[in-house]
Amino acid sequence: MPFIEHDPTDMNSFKAYLKQSKRILALCGAGLSASSGLATFRGAGGLWKTHDAMSLATPNAFVKDPSLVWQFYSARRQAAFSAKPNPAHLALAALAVKNSDFITVTQNVDGLSPRAGHPPLQLQPVHGSLSTIKCTSVFCNYIQYDNYDMALTPALAPAPERSSNDAEAAPANIPVSDLPHCPKCTTGLLRPGVVWFGESLPAHVLSEIDEWMEDGPIELCLVIGTTGMVWPAAGYIGQCKEKGARVAIINMEIDDDPMLGGVEYADWLFKGDCAQILPQILEPVIGTMDQVKELLGDTDHFPAPTFQGGPFTETTSKESQGTGYY
């Protein structure tokens, strides 16, 4: 643990600093959505206990067995779309509404932040989104954003409850003809719009984050529910510190994981559920949760889908390789 002159668990000192902070960056991971009931990527259960989830998150896996990969991601889509944004998502959304100089860099792909009412221009999803689908054909540029259909084809419809005896049975072998196909070119297979191992992170997202960080000093960095060890996102903690930011870490595993990223930069360490802690520590700016809900209005809805027909371009560099984390 770093030496910290003040009590790193003192919410009052944090709140006092928050009230005078303008430019704030939040780096979020799977812990943000834990209270929404979503398992982490490596924690996928049920029939996926017998599969290495990381091995499914590659372009080669999709080429080799698109049926298996689509069933895995369809199950993840159904879990994410059935979940509800929790108070942590709402608190960050309210902070973004209150402060136009606040951005959230999220490693999550569950789509709960936009559903919480987080302003899209202040949300940077570095690993893509489960609600994005795109054509795999090199001759087609079709992309759909904010697709929250529970089943993209009848073959991917939610499975009935399994008994304990068959909960780990092998997934069905779905014919390619029954998997999601592109409505534009009609021949290409669709795939989830998430970043897989070996793929580059979205160039426009990285550029927007870099432009924001270069735009002036940064007062505060919130590291929320993430190990802070997945690059390049983890590098933002140190970059914020170099720009003058003080760092607050909110995580369930502060004492349990000595390698937790960002701890060496920490000014505050808040151990516990993000859904409980964030509304408390951000209250001086966002108000009570009743006020947050009044500010955000009805967030229990899905954003309208949008389409893109132009080229989907990415830049590939060693520093911007996808983690396949989701």
Residue 155 DSSP class: G
Positions marked active-site: 127
DSSP state of 47: G
Distances in Å between the alpha carbon of 251 and those of 86, 159, 165, 272?
15, 33, 36, 6
The pTM assigned to this predicted structure is 0.87
| pLDDT tens string 54-102 | 788 899 999 999 999 999 999 999 999 999 999 999 999 999 999 999 9
Exposed/middle/buried for 86, CB within 10 Å: 0-12, 13-18, 19+? buried
Mean pLDDT of 254-262: 62
Average confidence score pLDDT of the chain = 85
Percent over 90 (pLDDT), the chain: 67
Is position 221 annotated in a ligand binding site? no
User: What per-residue confidence (pLDDT) applies to 253?
Assistant: 77
State the average pLDDT over residues 267-285.
Answer: 95
The ranges assigned to domains in the chain are 8-36+86-127+197-317, 39-82+129-194
Contact in structure between 130 and 111 (CB atoms under 8 Å): yes
Q: Give the confidence band of 246 by pLDDT, cuts at 50, 70, 90.
A: very high
Question: 8-36+86-127+197-317 belongs to which homologous superfamily?
Answer: TPP-binding domain (3.40.50.1220)
**Amino acid 262: pLDDT:** 66
Question: Which residue in the block uniquely carries the two structure tokens 């990223």?
Answer: 261
The reply to whether 39-82+129-194 shares the fold of 8-36+86-127+197-317 is no
Q: Binding site annotation covers 140?
A: yes
What is the DSSP pairing of strand 123-125 with strand 102-106? parallel
Q: Name the fold adopted by 39-82+129-194.
A: SIR2/SIRT2 'Small Domain' (3.30.1600)
> What is the pLDDT confidence band of residue 234, given thresholds at 50, 70 and 90?
confident
Sheet (strand 266-271) strand order: 123-125, 102-106, 24-28, 220-224, 246-251, 266-271
